[in-house]
Amino acid sequence: MEKKQRIIIIGPFPNPITGLSVANLTLYEGLLNKKYMVSKLDTSYSKFEDKTGSFSFDKLFFFITISFNIKCVLNNDVIYITIGQSFFGVLKYSFYILLGKLLSKEVIIHLHGNYLGDMHHNLSGLKKQLVKFILSKIDKAIVLSKSLKNNFTPFIDVSNIYVLTNFVSKDILLTNTEKEKLETINEPRIVFLGNLMTGKGIQYFFESLESLELEGFKFTAKCAGTMDSKKTVEYNKKIDSINSLEYLGVVRGEKKKQLLKWSNILICPSVMVEGLPLSILEAMATGNKIIATKQPALQDMFNNTQITFIKKESSFEISEAIKKVSKHSRAQEDIIKFNMNYIEKLTTLKFIEGFISIMNIENE
């Protein structure tokens, strides 16, 4: 019997809950279930901040304390890292990448976004050279869709860049009975599911709802996710000013599923460069119509009928899209059913087995 590789997963784990931390936990538990010798190094920074990728001395001290664990490399065959997308986000994992290369370990980098290539392009001088030096030492890279491969082509051969699509937990998927009981609600039930931060476009979400209320357009809305402590007063004041909006805090598990079963429209107005938002897949799985800003991974997987795409930084387009998708039609029902059936194929098992397949491929 062939000996299974020893694997270390280095990256953020819950808490806080993000699409990335959930993915890492899912992979960790899945590999354990398949009897792999797997360990983890949690790099989650405990303080949620509105501005991602920002530098602070608190962060620097935190990452110094976890960034030089030699045993993580010595005791494993595969070093799997979910890399950041800023200069600091790459630098903090450099010890594990370079030591892994030195000790002939297999170093696999998984990018859950789409900004790494642009970040490198926008750097200059020593910083740019350093990022290229670090990332050119990896053996394999994983991205969420075909269009995102360009993030790694400056560093490694394209033959060593693989696609592994995000997944939806079986806990979110609806049973046949639940599908039959899904109500056709004429009044829009709108949800924003994700961290309440400027990069996710929360301010445009608020503005669109304010505009709809002023027009007398009837709707009910809820938002859920982590809120930056520095923005709590500002965001709570805005939420209180919108009569039809309720803030639920962080939701997970059954509460998240019930929220998505209640809603019929998900808004994802992100202004930053994203990968493949998990909230969109989960909302599709529960019968929601999707309004989202254009992202390459989304456009790789879905067309303009499956998702209503909008421009970034436009509360007007959000408002107009809500009014458009609120007009019930048979065509919309068919799209919802098509999306639900498609998402049901993106299982956690497929994600875990996809990773194992990539791990076992010999580099060209």
Number of C-beta neighbours around residue 122 at 10 A: 11
CATH class for domain 176-343? alpha beta
% pLDDT > 70, the chain: 93
Gyration radius of the chain over CA positions = 21
Q: Nearest Cα to 298, choosing from 122, 162, 146, 158?
A: 146
Cis-peptide, bond into residue 154, ω within 30° of zero: no
Binning the chain into helix, strand and coil, the percentages to the nearest 5 are 45, 15, 40
**1 to each of 31, 297, 354, 357, 358, how far by Cα in Å?**
18, 39, 21, 18, 20
Is the dihedral angle over the CA atoms 45, 51, 53, 54 positive or is it negative?
negative
With a threshold of 0.85, does the pTM exceed it? yes
The CATH architecture one would assign to domain 6-167+347-360 is 3-Layer(aba) Sandwich (3.40)
Angle between helices 253-262 and 278-285 (to 10 degrees): 60
Determine the pLDDT at residue 1: 45
Indicate the DSSP class of residue 219.
-
Instruction: Kindly give the parts of the chain with pLDDT less than 70.
Output: 1-3, 46-63, 183-185, 363-364
Give the C-alpha separation, 94 to 299, whole Å.
32
- How many residues are there in the chain? 364
6-11 and 308-310 strand pairing: unpaired
- Run of H or E including 291: strand 289-293
> Residue 2's pLDDT is what?
56
Helix axes 19-33, 278-285, angle to 10 degrees: 70
Both tokens of residue 314?
Answer: 């436009």
Q: Is 143 helix (H, G, I), strand (E, B) or coil?
A: strand
What are 131-182's pLDDT values in tens digits?
999 999 999 999 999 999 999 999 999 999 999 999 999 899 998 888 887 7
Q: What's the pLDDT score for residue 364?
A: 57
Query: What is the DSSP code string of 21-75?
Result: HHHHHHHHHHHHHTT-EEEEEE---SS--SSTT---HHHHHHHHHHS--HHHHHT
CATH 3.40.50.2000, the chain: domain bounds: 6-167+347-360, 176-343
